Structure formats: structure tokens, C-alpha cells
A and B are shown apart, each in its own frame.
Chain A
Amino acid sequence: MKPRDLKSRFLPALLAGTRREPLPRAGPVLGTDPHALLRALCLTGQALRFETPTAPEQIVREMWPEDVRPIIPDHLRAPILRLMNAPKCSNAAESAVAWAFASKKVRPHLFDLPRMEGFVRRQADHLGVVAQYWAQREVPAGKQNSYFDADQISEKNWTDAPSALRLKFLESLRARDAAAGRKLVAPVWARESAEVRLRLLAAMQVGLSHQDKEFLDSAAKDRAPRVKNLAKRLLARLAGTTGENPALAACLERIERTKAGLRKKRASLILQLPATVKERNANRWVIEQFAEIGLDEVACALELPLDGLIDAAEKDEYLLFAFSMMASREKKWDVLAKIAEALPDAWGRMSEAGFDEMNFADDGERNRWVQALVHPREWMPESAFPAWEWLLRRMEAQLPPPLMLHVLASKWWKKRFSGEEKPGAEEMQVFCALCPPSLRSKLRDQLQLADLEAREIGLLLLDILDGLETLT
């Protein structure tokens, strides 16, 4: 009897039970003794075991994208895996490593993707197209984005890119050539969803000028109320139309203008906070109140030059904070630097209130912003972690070396290491991420004073960043 016959003859009875379905006769194979039943069991079982498994008939063909980025060298793989799987690994460390991947245009090893799943999912946009594919492999087919390396995006294919990349591309194009950006958006405008239209319009704020008026006029008739409102606000920001901005009118109502001074009377501005706004919420209220107006609009409405506007507000911290936020948004670095002199904790207030409406076209802009705003000798935050972590998120890059040097040399920094409560692991990762390569050896020395946990993970992060940044 062949194995196939054993299976076909005995299997039904073995499955159903020989009480219900007696075993068929099998001649001398089983015999007639009491063990015949068990012999059938053995033979059938062994027949099944000798079946060679075959490949399935239907195979899902996976379409992995081709990634032109080189894979990181082997010696960096283990430290990165160790960091990404460390219980204390923070978002700051993840981001810093991801940015290093992006700036060096390298990608993780394919085999490491499942071993640092969380990192890959959160930072896929920086890690190349294969990582993006990996991060989306569980997403239903209809909801997947296409896989795009930021370097590959162009005016021809930008509509296929993930939303964040598209916006970044549009912003950067607007910064270079506002008209080209507008021409790019106009043909696709009508077929985009309301949410995407809103974000595209927000991106058009970069390089906003009278040339955009026609486009904004048409957007002001959009069927989606949010798009319509934003278009109207942007129209209002165009010079000569300030009076039409209701947000500006609301703000002006709350700014009290007086004259002060003994011999020469100077303009003085005071922001009247509503009685319902408590001190702890004041900065957030300011952000919301001044979100939709520009510095020039305010100056124009108050009939003051920009410098005069800042001077006039010097006695009012909330108004200065509002102006610092507007100057950041509008990239008026000189004005921002002037405000930061009068209000050195402006960036602390921004972090506390969660201000995040900044776009930087390049590293130069980032550096000018942070150098204008942050003055470690003048002011350092009491709650170090949230403030520096916010700065890192906004910067998405390291601090300029002179600024980091000021941080490392500040009394505040030294005091952090001399007290009992030393910087924790998460905080140290933020500083490691912010530290430029030229100052890492100094930071390493100072890390020796940190608690063991903070030191270990900090050194690991610095090693990885050094390794990635020195790739050629």
C-alpha cells in the first residue's frame, strides 16, 4: 500500500473516530490484533510526514521601490539598533539620527527595519523610499502614499509626493520663485481636497505679494469655508488692504496707545489682555490673537515705523512676544534680534505656548533665526527639557557653533551639573542632538559629569552622529 492510499483509506476513519466509521480492511498491512488500530494511526501519521511541502500557487508579488541611497556601513548598524531599542531613547535622538541619514543621503540596512520599527515608522520621510515603503506596508492599499525621496521631487512629479513633502517643496519653490510656485498650484488646485487646498494656500504665504492677488481672489470664493477665510486673511495682508483684516482690527482694539517721556514724548503701546485670560495662558492667547496678522500691517495701522513699533512696545512683554512671533514668521531677523534684546525669554515663551508657525528655506535661515532669538548669557529656561526640545524640533538641525559654545560655557550649564539634580537622559539627548560636530568633544567631556544613564545614551548618540556625519 502506497502512502497516498494509506491517507485516503484511513484518514476519514481516524478523523471521525473508529466508533462512528470503522477502519476499512487493509489486509496484512494492519493485521487483526488489538494494535491494528494504532498501526493504522502510525502508518497514516508517517505517510503524512513524508509529504514534501509545496510552494503556494498564488504568491503576492511585492513591489519594493528601488532606493538609490547607499546603505549605512555595517559598523554603524549595531549602535543604531542599540540606541533605537534603548528604553530611554527619546524623540530628539531619533530625529537627530534621522536628519543625519537625510543629510548624508544614506538609508538603514533593509534587515534592520523590523528591528527598529518605531523609529522607521516615525522618521520614514528621512530614511529613503524603502523605509517609507516599509512604514506603510500594513496600511490598506488605497490609503498608501507613494514613496518619494525628498531629493527626487520635481515640478513634474510633485503631485505624487506625500503631503508633507509637497508642502515643503512648494514653500521652497515660493521662496525661490513665488510666481513659479503659484503657477504650479493653479492647475491642480480644483482637484485637491479641501484639507490639501487649505495646506497649499498656507504654503503660499511664503513670498506673498500683490502678484498673488488674482489667485487669492479666486481662492476667496472657495466652497470650503476654511479655505475661503484663509484666502481672505492673506488678501488682507497684502499692502493697501489692511483695513479689511478683521483679525488686525480685533488686535488693534486691544492695543492702547499713549505718549510717554519727559521732554520728548514717545509713543508707548500696551496690550490689554482680556479679563478672562489668566497669566499662565496669556502667551497662548497672544499666539492665537496675532496668528493672522503681519508686523507691517500693525506698524502701518499704528502709523509707526518698524523700529518705532518695537521701541513703543518695550514696556509690554506680551506685545513684544507677539511681535517676536510675527518677526519669526516673517523672517525679519533684525527686528527679531532687537525684540530678543528687550525680551530675552521670548523663545522660552514660544516653547511654552507651543508656537510652531515657522518655515525655514535652508540652514542659513535657521541659523539666523536662532542666533537672533536665543541669547544664553541673557536668559536660560528653568525647565530646560521642554524649552530645548522645542528649539530642536523647530530647528530640525544643530545649533550654530558659537551659540552652542555659549550654552556650554554658561553658568546655567555648569550649575546643572554641579547640583544634585543633574540633566536626565532625555535632556542630554536633546543637547547631543543640538551640538554641532566641532563641539562634540567638549560635550563628551562634560557628559562625564552626568549621571550614568544620561552619559551612556548621550555618548552612544554622539558616536552614531559622528559616524554618520563623517560618511563620504
Chain B
Amino acid sequence: MAALSLKKIERIAPDQASLSAARKLVKPGVWSGLARDESGLVWGACQGSGASPYRVVISEPDAGYKCTCPSRKFPCKHSLALMWLRAEGNTPFPTDTTPEWVGEWLKRRRADEGAYDAEQGERKSSEPKSIALTATEAAEEADPKAEARAAAARERTRKDREEAIAAGLDDLDQWLADQVESGLAGFAAAAGKSCRVIAQRLVDAKAAGLAARLENLPARLYALPEAIRPLIAIEELGQLHLLAEAYRRQESLAPDLRADVRREVGWSVTRESLLADAAATRTAGTWRVAATLSEIQQDRLRRLETWLWREDARDGPRFAVLIDFVPLAVGPARSPYAIGERFTGTVVYYPSPVPLRGLLGEVSSHAQSCPDDFVLPPDGLKEAFRNYERALAAKPWLGVWPMAFRNVRVSRSGEQMFVCANDGAEGAPLLPAQADLAAPLLALECLHGLGLWNGTHLRLFLAQTSLGRWVGE
């Protein structure tokens, strides 16, 4: 069964015009050399307006695509049309060996995936592209002296960076102390300029993770009601000092916590090294896509988050988030997954005392749309917050935390909507941006759902109700 469905194609299309244009190409007569391989790659050539046909390849498991046409839409109409042909299932696609140009794309694609810094979304073309490739190159070069020189250079770079970070952390503490002495009641009003200056200092100190936290802080504060801004400023600035202190004492921390601190500060872990790390937490199971979020960052990269929920209740984390950073101009605007899709596979988690972010390792069944209800635990909102507190205790700089809960209702108090426990006193303010979309939930007595708590507001991912599934995007 094809992993692509018309619904999914409709979702990943950049606009209606692309779909309409693709529809014209959903005719076998326009295509030549249509074929596929066992791994889910499908390719063909489509005669366009140019002299030579465009070569198009798609990857069914993850809705990847590549076309040689000059279109600036992603996916282009040719890629969409090929997906469409495949999804309809009326056109034969004989199994064939992968042609050279498809193989090259696949190689480049894997390399590109590795070249995006998994942590910061920075392109690091000089870093190894894959473990296997590095090994081959090393074997070919086999120059021990050069390798030793390179290792020494890397070590020097690392030490220089550690020193720079240490100095940056001292400056951060000094800045934090200045803010506390001045008082945090009015911090939010001047946060833009103030945070930008210290964030730039931390960028210079190569502590990009901390810098990003500071750069995003003013926007986070301005999005909140004025009354609680000083309190959230205290929480956020307190976390920055906690991170600085933890980094200074990292040798005394447990390995997972240490790795987490280093990533929070700015050290990156490449995709390949994580997948190759035998000690990394791996959780296999049946996963459902709970939410897909897309956000444009200040560095003109699009951050695509795919939140997964593991349906089987065996040990190990139930949630996982896959994060991709793609350039705004050329990358896809949405996650290739659709909410509710189900697949079986293994998530490899970045080391952390509360594993959350991960990468997809082996996938044994491709994502298929699934109308079934999500299998949620019996916990209510109270237990969901207990889980949050446990996670917060394990990782005090925890940012957002996903929650699963049953038996809640959405209520309104003034302009603010709340997700309230039907059987307790808990009530989480709903993200104001979701107010319109969630307003129909006010009519329902009881719902079960998944959401993301950011410390002040709950973003509802989805709700299972007597009227079916509500999704928050």
C-alpha cells in the first residue's frame, strides 16, 4: 500500500495553484521512465516546457522529493503530480534498479540531512556528512600525521571554545545580577535592547543556545499579559543562571544531564553521531503524529516540529519531537507528516534526563493516515501536571512539556479560555492564538487530549470528543 494519499499530497502542496497545475500532469502520457525501487523511491521524467524532460524523484516513506525544474515552489507541480500518480495507483510503476541520478540525489540528500546542525539549524558543510562516509575517507587518506594534526587542531578549537563560553557565562551572570539589582518589575519594557546586547555577547562566546534563549525572551514576554511578565522574566532569567552554573559544574553531573546542559548552551550533536551512539535512549513502538508545528526563526530558518505520541504503554518515553530546520526560501513549509498518521519505528533520543527530542531511526511501517482515536493513558490533568513537575525536577531548565490528559473541558473566563479538569481544581490557560479555533470546544462537556505546556499556556494539539477529533492547527 502506498504511503502517500491524496489527502497528504494536498497537505504538503504549497498552494492550490500548484495542486491545480499538478492535476494536469496526472496523466501517464506526460511521463516516461516511471519506476520504483523496494525502498519507496519512485522516479520518472516529465516533459515540461524545456527541451529535455524534468527528472523527478520522490521518496514515499517521508514524502521527500526532488525535481530538476526551475520552479521556486516546493514541492513543484511535477513532484506533486508524481506523488499523485503513485497515490491513485492506476499507473504501473515497474520495480527497477535505482538510476544514477536518483542515487546521487539520495546521497546528497542524506549528506544534506547530516550537514544541518541538528541543534541549531546551522549548515556545517565542513563536518563529516555521515559516519560511513567519514570512515571511507579516513581509510583512503590513511595519513596518521595529518590525522594527528587535525585532532590536535580540533582539540585546540574545543579548548578555545570552552574558554570563550566560560567567559561568556561570567558576563551573563554579571548581566543577570545587574538586572536583579535594577529590579525585574520593568524588565520586559526594555527587554528588546537589553537582551539583544547580551545575546550578541553570547554568540561571540560561542554559546549559541543561551544566545537564542535570550533573543527569544522579549517576544515571549510581550506575548503574555502585562501582569505576569515580571514573574515570567524571573523564571526565565533564573533558568539562565541555572544553566550557567550547571555548565560550570558539568563534570559532577550525571551523563544525561551533562549532555543536556551542553546542548542547551550551544554544543551540537550531529545526526550521524546520535544515530551511531549505542548509549542513546531508543524507543521502538507504534507512533501517532500528534501535532506538526512550523515557526519562522529570527535567523530566517523555518523550524518544523513533529510531535509524536507512542501508543503502546511499555516503558520509555511516550512523547517524542522531531525537529527540522529548513531554509525559508527553499525548504518545505510544513512537516511531511499529517496529524493522526500512524507508523511503527524507533525514535533515538538526544541524551537528556527527560528524553523528548529525537530522530527517527528504523521505520518498519510507513506513516499511514488513521482515523482511530489516540490511545491515551487514564490520567487527568492533575497527573499530567505531576508528570510535568517530575520532568521539571529532573531538568530544571525544561522549556515546553507535552501532556496527555483525559476528562477535561474548555471554559472561558473573561477573554481567556482554560482547559479545566472535570474532576479537580487544575485549569491551564489555553494559548490565546488558539482561542478562535478552540471556541467550538466550549460547547462540549468532556474531552480527552494532548497538548504542550510552556509554563504559562497550554497549546492543545488535539482533542478527542463526542464529535470526533479536533485538531489545533
Interface string of B96-118 (1 = CB under 8 A from A): 00000000000000000000000
Given contacts A58-B413, A62-B412, A114-B436, contact A41 B241 (CB under 8 A): yes
Given contacts A52-B385, A74-B468, contact A42 B442 (CB under 8 A): no
Residues of A within 8 Å of B443, CB to CB, are 62, 64, 110, 130
Q: Is A55 a contact partner of B412 (Cβ separation < 8 A)?
A: no
Distance (whole angstroms) from the CB of B466 to the closest CB of chain A: 10
Cα of A110 to Cα of B447 in the assembled complex, Å: 14
Binds B, one of A9-17, A266-274, A369-377, A397-405: A9-17
Distance (whole angstroms) from the CB of B364 to the closest CB of chain A: 29
Q: Is B173 a contact partner of A35 (Cβ separation < 8 A)?
A: yes
Q: Is A54 a contact partner of B238 (Cβ separation < 8 A)?
A: no
Q: Is A14 a contact partner of B421 (Cβ separation < 8 A)?
A: no
Interface string of B237-271 (1 = CB under 8 A from A): 11101100100000000000000000000000000
Q: Is B412 a contact partner of A41 (Cβ separation < 8 A)?
A: no
Given contacts A14-B184, A86-B16, contact A48 B440 (CB under 8 A): no
A265 at the interface (CB under 8 A from B): no
Cα of A52 to Cα of B456 in the assembled complex, Å: 10
Residues of A within 8 Å of B396, CB to CB, are 46
Binds A, one of B43-51, B138-146, B174-182, B304-312: B174-182
Give the interface centre of B173, B183, B234, B414 by most chain A CB atoms within 10 Å.
B234
Residues of A within 8 Å of B468, CB to CB, are 74, 109, 111
A28 at the interface (CB under 8 A from B): no
> B428 touches which one: A35, A48, A53 (CB < 8 A)?
A53
Cα of A111 to Cα of B436 in the assembled complex, Å: 10
**Chain A binding site: helix, strand, loop or mixed by DSSP?**
helix
Q: Is B235 a contact partner of A17 (Cβ separation < 8 A)?
A: no
Residues of B within 8 Å of A60, CB to CB, are 411-414
A357 at the interface (CB under 8 A from B): no
Residues of B within 8 Å of A37, CB to CB, are 177, 180-181
Q: Is A55 a contact partner of B183 (Cβ separation < 8 A)?
A: no
Residues of A within 8 Å of B133, CB to CB, are none
Distance (whole angstroms) from the CB of B131 to the closest CB of chain A: 39
Interface string of B415-451 (1 = CB under 8 A from A): 0101011000111110000001101101100000000
Given contacts A46-B396, A60-B411, A114-B440, contact A52 B426 (CB under 8 A): yes
Closest to B420 in A: A55
B203 at the interface (CB under 8 A from A): no
B392 at the interface (CB under 8 A from A): yes
B277 at the interface (CB under 8 A from A): no
Distance (whole angstroms) from the CB of A220 to the closest CB of chain B: 48
Closest to A109 in B: B467
Q: List 13 interface pairs A-B (beta carbons < 8 Å), by A numbering.
A: A14-B183, A38-B180, A39-B241, A40-B180, A46-B392, A54-B425, A55-B426, A86-B16, A110-B443, A111-B470, A114-B437, A453-B17, A456-B20
Sample of 19 further A-B pairs with CB below 8 A, known A17-B185, A19-B181, A114-B437:
A18-B181, A35-B173, A35-B245, A38-B241, A42-B242, A44-B234, A44-B238, A45-B237, A45-B238, A46-B242, A53-B429, A55-B418, A62-B412, A82-B10, A110-B443, A113-B439, A114-B440, A117-B436, A452-B24
Task: For the complex of A and B, list the 6 residue pairs with the smallest distance between their C-beta atoms, beginning with the closest.
Answer: A45-B238, A55-B427, A17-B183, A56-B413, A55-B420, A64-B443
